[in-house]
Structure 1
Amino acid sequence: MTDQLCNILQTYLQSSLSAVDAAKQLRDTVEADEAVEDAAYALFNLVADQVRALTPDASQHEHLVSLLVALKSAETSARDWSELVPLGMVIRELWNISGPEKEDWPAINAFAARLAAGRVLDLDTFGIWTMRAALEGNTETTDREVAAALQWIRYAGSHMKKLSMEGTEATTATKGGPRWSGQGGYNKERWAFWSQRLTEVAAEGSATDTASQKAAVEAVKEILKLN
């Protein structure tokens, strides 16, 4: 079953199938398995494996997002795909097994940001976690932390700014890091703080941390486009 799912996914990514046709084939394969939920979990792990092998700006991210949109849009199906269960759990597992020390961290965040911006999956809290790690800590910001933050600004910046202007509930999960003493969640003040911190990182990057500086410069440019 896993091999069949993998073959369908690869055929789709090679532009040999439409998103709608690929989604139908994937749904049919999953639902034909005796252990349907295990099969769905295997499918979304295959998607995660694809994401981890991509660069943050790879066009395949958009192809995968389109596929997930087609999956959740099924009008008649033996299984409820509307919430893409258990994709949220798979992405949470990615957060646990990856991280700023791993090369795939920016790509994982680029994909999550695209899903959040398109409202394919509610991953808004993940955006806060990435921004908090990159911009609200007391320790020196690493290259990949800033690169991950850039992905959220680049692919979900408009969505994040909208949430910030409207304000969201402050929860334990969305609390601030050491540098941020304000409310948790998304809010105007925190958005302004993130913008300021990125400006500082862009201006103060050292000779040993030029990747962080370059990523911060790009993030500031993206923020300016939103104003």
Structure 2
Amino acid sequence: MENDHKTVEEGLEEDVTRRPKIELESGLGSADAPPQPNETAQISLKEEDSIAVKSEKPTPQSKFDLSDIKTTSLTEPGISILNIIENALNSTSPGSASIAAQGLDLLCPSTKSTEVGDYIWVLWTMLLEVAQALPPDSDKPGQGTLVAILFELQQCAKGDVSLWGSEWRLWRDLPLLSNFMDETWTDPVRNDEILEQESARMWRNQNAFAARCVGAGVGEWAHFGIWQLRAALEEDRAAEQSENRECLIQVASEWVIHSGPRLLQWAEDEDKEPFDWGTDVAAGSLFQGSPGLSLRRWKFWKDRFNEVSKDTALCNEGARVAAREAVESMVEAETRLGNEST
């Protein structure tokens, strides 16, 4: 499976080609007709009145405030990374993702430095913490901005770097990002305890971000999505707490909502030429099929989402709503793929 940035390039074309414009406002006076002394006094009074009025207005707060995350990262380069990301999230200027990527690139040590690996790991840590704090449906600004920053970062050519026994192209390969995602992928849902609401929220946000990356072609970790779809739809969860069932369904829905078209395309391709997924993506007890992605498994997930959306006895409203949104997204993905193949 090769990275395909076509979708992201189309979505970010305007960001990449345009840059913020500085517009100059004309002054009160003019070089050709300087103000007379009495006019100058009137202008000064107007300026003072204007200042007084402005001072009474409350300072607008950032739409996305990362101060809570900053308090847990009191050292550099973490704080600088968060400042750059926060500026991008709160910017209305075209090209803010590109500007952020350039800033992150400038913070990175030389490819010959022994600290380059540490910086990259801190960068991915900060990015994930921000993603966990952003709502799953936040596009631009929001989680969509984070994905755009990753795409723009890939356009920054810094050179080759050797990390963890492998050679990487910085930043095209997004070095260690897949390794980082593997290291930090810990499902908090447990059968023997009720999942805390905050943990469920962060877990859903993390999955939404990962799914967005896969859908946009800046991440190749479809196995995470299969794990979550299997956990939610291919196992009998009747004995589990309703809070946990809701989290499972919501998390699984994020994968088909944000990466459905790409997962479906892979499923169709695999039906033509099977791919060896190994045991990582084995089927659950309710699905009598082969591991990996397939059109048969896709249809099973869609049918199960449809069942959940109507199950008032076992599933609460949050789970049913997420299941309905998942079915709608899967139908849209099928329609899109059908249109592209005709």
TM-score by length of 2: 0.62
Identify the residue that residue 198 of structure 1 maps to in structure 2.
Answer: 305
Q: Distance in 2 between matches of 1:136 and 1:85?
A: 33
Deviation at 1:107, TM superposition (A): 1.1
Structure 1 residues without counterparts, runs of 5 or longer: none
Q: Distance in 2 between matches of 1:178 and 1:97?
A: 19
Q: Distance in 1 between matches of 2:256 and 2:277?
A: 21
What is the correspondence of 1:1-80 to structure 2 with a 5 Å cutoff? 1-15=77-91, 18-31=96-109, 35-59=115-139, 60-77=142-159, 79=161, 80=170
Identify the residue that residue 13 of structure 2 maps to in structure 1.
Answer: none
Q: 1:218 to 1:133 in 2, by over 3 A?
A: same
The size of the alignment, in residue pairs, is 227
Q: Distance in 2 between matches of 1:121 and 1:222?
A: 20
Q: Distance in 2 between matches of 1:175 and 1:61?
A: 30
Moved more, 13-22 or 130-139: 13-22
Aligned residues with identical type, % of pairs? 27
Corresponding residue SS for 1:184: coil
Residue identity opposite 1:14 in structure 2: N
Q: Distance in 2 between matches of 1:38 and 1:97?
A: 25
Please state if 1:105 is matched with 2:187: no
Corresponding residue SS for 1:206: coil
Identify the residue that residue 126 of structure 1 maps to in structure 2.
Answer: 224
Query: Which runs of at least 4 in structure 1 moved beyond 3 Å after TM superposition?
Result: 76-79, 97-101
Deviation at 1:82, TM superposition (A): 1.7
Structure 2 residues without counterparts, runs of 5 or longer: 1-76, 162-169, 239-243, 335-342
Higher helix share: 1
The partner residue of 1:157 within 251, 254, 260 is 260
TM-score by length of 1: 0.91
Two-structure CA RMSD over aligned residues (Å): 2.1
Please state if 1:188 is matched with 2:316: no
Q: Distance in 1 between matches of 2:158 and 2:280?
A: 36
The partner residue of 1:144 within 247, 268, 273 is 247
Moved more, 138-147 or 200-209: 200-209
Q: Distance in 1 between matches of 2:123 and 2:189?
A: 22
Residue identity opposite 1:28 in structure 2: L
Structure with bigger gyration radius: 2
